[in-house]
Chains A and B, each alone.
Chain A
Amino acid sequence: MVVTAPEDKKEKVEAIEAVLARLLRLGSLVAAALLAAGIGLMLLGLTTLAPRLITAGLLVLLGTPVLRVLAAGVIFVKERDWYFAAFSLVVLCAMAAGIYFGRGE
């Protein structure tokens, strides 16, 4: 029992890192593709569609940190790691409140 406990913990930590790495890679690839397409179209003179594509790329990128905290929170809940699930929730609430108050300025 004493020998296997640290092993189990290590497995869990590696799982969360793999999931987050996949999420962030997907986010950056989609964002980069949209940005590159937008800039390419801009240079070709398609000035109506291009800024929209770029904005879409920026918004995808903007979503990745939020999704990252959310995904970490879900993983912690699944692992019944209540402390860290609660920490993730605190971070999400503070982000949401920051956006709410910031918009009101």
Chain B
Amino acid sequence: MLVTFLEIFLIGIGAGVVGAILGLGGGIIIVPALTLGFGMSMRTAVAASTVSIIATSTGAAVAYLRDRLTNTRVAIWLEMGTATGALSGALIAGIVSQRLLFILFGLLLSYSAYNMFKTRKAELHTGVVPDAVSRKLNLAGSYYDKALCHRVEYQVTRTIPGLIIMYFSGAAAGLLGIGAGIFKVPAMDQVMGMPFKASTATSNFMIGVTAASGAVVYFARGDVKPLVAGPVVLGVLIGAVLGARLMVRMRANLIRLCFMPVIAYTAIEMIYRGIKWW
């Protein structure tokens, strides 16, 4: 039992580090590891993974908030989209065609992977002009970048399109059970013009809220197995704290380089899941 605990714990640390740096939940690591590596049921794995998303978010957010990388105002604005989206996704599940959604969101992700590849050399966006909503809500932010060794001041734009994308990504998460952070990072980075590091940190902050409602439901159904979720979540918490410390010192280009294979893989996987049921 000690060995199994230790293995699950180490997987958790790895998932926590990766999740914290990229602003994702880490389900992409935890679910396959628990189902394929330890032969656990999908329900147990997904439940453990959902609680770990909260661990990634909470563990890393402390460092990101202290470094002002998290834009709390943008986070709350966009959480309205994800939370109401997740709710409507759960309500209309079964009415809409899942395979069509998989293909649609897969294509959307492919497009943002392509965009990310195009802008891979740019450390920061330049010439972002805030829109009226962004000015009204005072969404602009600034942080001290420990990798660039200077303060980064930034503006936020296309506030309404960002909110709409968050609504649909929240619905996708509710309907397809995927994508805690994979849509949030490109929405802030590519659509709203936020710096990449502020995007991953703010995504990280938001994923805990989206996961919390889901996690309560898994708890109520008894899917959260303490002996599985315990070691994973403890590992993820520690990993997220370590990952956040690494991330604040990393250059945005390097983080984006790590993000691109993940987004490309997820896009291909989603399109495949949509097509194979045809």
Interface of A toward B, CB cutoff 8 Å: 9, 13-14, 16-18, 20-21, 24-25, 27-28, 31-32, 35-36, 38-39, 42-43, 50-52, 54-55, 57-59, 61-62, 64-66, 68-69, 72, 83-84, 87-88, 90-91, 94-95, 97-99, 101-103, 105
Q: Is the interface of A mostly helix, strand, loop or mixed?
A: helix
Which B residues touch A55, using CB under 8 A?
224, 226
B62 A28 Cβ-Cβ under 8 A: yes
Is A59 within 8 A of B219, CB to CB?
A: yes
30 A-B pairs with C-beta separation under 8 A: A17-B68, A20-B65, A21-B62, A21-B66, A28-B62, A28-B237, A28-B241, A31-B237, A32-B234, A35-B230, A38-B226, A51-B226, A52-B226, A54-B227, A55-B224, A61-B54, A62-B54, A62-B216, A66-B212, A69-B79, A72-B72, A90-B83, A94-B87, A95-B213, A98-B87, A98-B213, A98-B217, A99-B216, A102-B214, A102-B216
When chains A and B are docked, how far (Å) is the Cα of A90 from the Cα of B208? 16
Partner of A94, one of B54, B59, B83: B83
Rounded to whole angstroms, the CA-CA distance of A49 and B165 in the bound complex is 45
Assuming the contacts A32-B234, A97-B87, asked whether A54 and B229 have C-beta atoms less than 8 A apart, the reply is yes
Q: Which of B65-118 contact A (CB under 8 A)?
A: 65-66, 68, 70, 72-73, 76-77, 79-80, 83-84, 86-87, 90-91
Instruction: Known contacts A62-B216, A102-B216; decide if A39 and B234 are in contact (CB<8 Å).
Output: yes
Main secondary structure on B side of the interface with A: helix
Q: Give Cα A74 to B73, complex, Å.
A: 14
Closest-by-CB residue of B relative to A90 is B80
Tell me if B80 and A91 are in contact (CB < 8 A): yes
By the criterion CB–CB under 8 Å, are B2 and A43 in contact?
yes
Q: Is the CB of A39 within 8 A of B83?
A: no
Are B87 and A68 closer than 8 Å at their CB atoms? Answer: no
| CB proximity of B2 to chain A, nearest CB, Å | 6
Q: Is the CB of A62 within 8 A of B219?
A: yes
Instruction: Tell me which residues across on chain B come within 8 A of A103, comparing CB atoms.
Output: 216-217, 220
In the bound complex, CA of A103 to CA of B241 (Å): 32
Closest to B57 in A: A65
